[in-house]
Amino acid sequence: MFQGSMVAIVTPFMDGRIDEKGFRELIEFQIAQGTSAIVPCGTTGESATLTHEEHDQVVRIAVECAAGRVPVIAGTGSNSTQEAVSLTRHAQEAGADAALLITPYYNKPTQQGLYEYFQSVADAVDFPIILYNVPGRTAVNLLPKTVARLAEIENIQGIKEASGDLSQVSEIVHLCGSKITVLSGDDALTLPILSVGGKGVISVTANIVPSGMAEMVRAGLDNEWDKARQCHLDLLPLFKAMFYETNPIPVKTALAMMGRIREEFRSPLCRMSPENRQRLSDVLKKYRIV
């Protein structure tokens, strides 16, 4: 179920509230352009600053709009196990196809603490769980041996790996085999992760070029490595541009330049600096995106 190019979709705002019309239009754009799954309420969706009511609203809209055409994988992680259980239960009740759970941030739990966190959430629901490891955001690294332990839990079925460490990704594939699906959490590392057994990506860049990301991943999964490599090289400047500043500032700015959303962020995120905004605009113009 979980493979291909999946979008870590932004949450559009209008005057401080969820822009439901804009969000639905983004989902339709993604599905029409070949995206394999919609992933709302992740880092790119500014989940850390959504209220519980807004979180539930975003998941509900995504499920309604996708209408079974592609899976919806709802971000439901937290630095509180109790809160993560609550958010994950709601996602299942709302009709999401799976939950994406980031490792608890700020707390810096041990590997045993991480295991117990994910185990608790998995035990509380009966639909698929995808682990999300991004040490640069959370200050804790979910190690391969812990992933292998978690892979023995029936409904823990995947991991979004954004450690930036290809050796670690390879070790997860080696230890877990077919017990867990490995997905890239870093657009620029998607190609090498596919080459060692990954099955796709949960992508930031797919927000603006969904068909390009879908083509690259599809080529890799079909063992068309020359094509996949060329797609990767063609997209590399966009991968870099999406991180000129903290994600999701550049991607939301790009979508606003494309006329798809309003350029609005949830504080403490703010607009791009004029210098980086110009750099981003130059890249988008080169690709004829704007």
Determine, yes or no, domain membership for 236. Answer: no
How many CA atoms are closer than 13 Å to the CA of 88, on its beta-carbon side?
30
Establish if 193 belongs to a structural domain. yes
DSSP 78-125: -SSHHHHHHHHHHHHHHT-SEEEEEPPPSS---HHHHHHHHHHHHHH-
Structural domain boundaries, residue 207: 4-224
- Convert the pLDDT of each residue in 146-165 to its tens digit: 999 999 999 999 999 999 99
Q: For 265-283, write each residue's pLDDT tens digit.
A: 999 999 999 999 999 999 9
pTM here? 0.97
Whether 160 is catalytic:
yes
Strand partners, 158: 130, 181
Examine the residue annotation and report whether 132 is marked as an active-site residue of this protein.
yes
Mean residue pLDDT of the chain comes to 97
Question: What is the spatial distance between Cα 224 and Cα 228, in angstroms, rounded to a whole number?
Answer: 6
pLDDT per residue as tens digits for the range 75-102: 999 999 999 999 999 999 999 999 999 9
Residue 136 lies in a domain: yes
Query: pLDDT by residue (tens digit) across 199-249?
Result: 999 999 999 999 999 999 999 999 999 999 999 999 999 999 999 999 999
**135-152 burial by CB neighbour count: b if 16+ within 10 A, else e?**
bebbebbbbbebbbbbbe
The answer to the question of residue 49 being in a domain is: yes
How far is Cα 107 from Cα 165, in angstroms, rounded to an integer? 22
Q: What is the pLDDT of residue 158?
A: 98
Would residue 242 count as lying in a domain? no
List the structure tokens of 190.
């998607």
Amino acid at 118: F
Identify the pLDDT of residue 173.
97
Catalytic residue among 115, 117, 160, 244: 160
For residue 285, give every residue at least 6 positions away whose Cβ sits within 8 Å of its Cβ, in sequence order, or none: none
Residue 248: inside a domain, yes or no? no
Decide: helix, strand or coil at residue 245. Answer: coil
Judge whether residue 171 has pLDDT over 90.
yes
Number of domains in the chain: 1
Q: State the pLDDT at residue 26.
A: 98
Counting Cβ atoms within 10 Å, is residue 275 exposed (0-12), middle (13-18) or buried (19+)?
exposed
Q: Residue 237, Cβ neighbours under 10 Å: how many?
A: 13
Confidence band (pLDDT; 50, 70, 90) for 178? very high
Catalytic choice (115, 117, 132, 244): 132
For the chain, counts of helices (H) and of strands (E): 12, 10
Report residue 74's pLDDT band, with 50, 70 and 90 as the boundaries: very high
Look up the CATH number of the domain holding residue 14.
Answer: 3.20.20.70
Give the pLDDT score at 88.
98
Residue with tokens 């490595």: 225
* 129: β partners: 99, 156
Residue 287 lies in a domain: no
Evaluate whether residue 203 is within a structural domain.
yes
